[in-house]
Amino acid sequence: MKKIAVDMDGVLANVYELYHQFHERDFGKRKLPEEIMGIPEGEAFPTIRQFIYETGFFLNVPVIEGSQEVMRKLNQQYELYIVSAATEFPKSLPEKQTWLGQHFPFISWQQMVFCGSKKVIKADIMIDDHFKNLDYFEGQTLLFTQPHNCRNNDHQHTRVDSWSAIEKLLL
């Protein structure tokens, strides 16, 4: 059975929605898509790092549309793992596990991999929104479209814009 490694933030969890909410709360307006396209998250939302380290941030992230249904199907046909570089944000570890349990109850604790660098991950397929994680991966790579990766015309990875696109590719 093929193994799939799925990133959490930006692939399952809609962190950009929280970034927008915090920015709107603090500055009174929502950033326009063209203001953040191709810009790293920390540059597009300079104050967001202070919130990422706060308790509760990762518990309140909305789910990316379509991810729950497709992940349930993938879990039935593949050896599925959630792989998150969570150790960068130490308070996120229990929150991410709780979040996954709430939104993806069919994912067991044995399918959750919280790490620092994803360079050690071995699977057949990786779905991620960051080049830094996909560039070193030895299997098939699916780049989940997010604003920070939009201006790069990289053709090394298969770009997917939605969970329905992933469903068409893998199911």
Q: What is the mean pLDDT of each run of 10 residues along the chain (171 residues)?
A: 98 96 94 94 91 89 98 98 92 94 98 96 98 95 96 84 98 97
Topology, domain 3-14+58-170: Rossmann fold (3.40.50)
How far the first Cα of the chain sits from its last, in Å, is 14
Catalytic annotation, pick one of 9, 26, 129, 135? 9
**Given the residues 7, 124, 128, 154, the one annotated as active site:** 7
Q: What is the pLDDT of residue 65?
A: 98
Measured distance CA(141)–CA(160) in Å, rounded:
10
Please report the pLDDT score of residue 18 as a whole number. 93
Is 9 labeled as catalytic in the residue annotation? Answer: yes
CB 16 within 8 A of CB 146: yes
Q: Please give the pLDDT value at position 66.
A: 98
In the residue annotation, 26 being an active-site residue is answered as no
Residue-level pLDDT at 1: 95
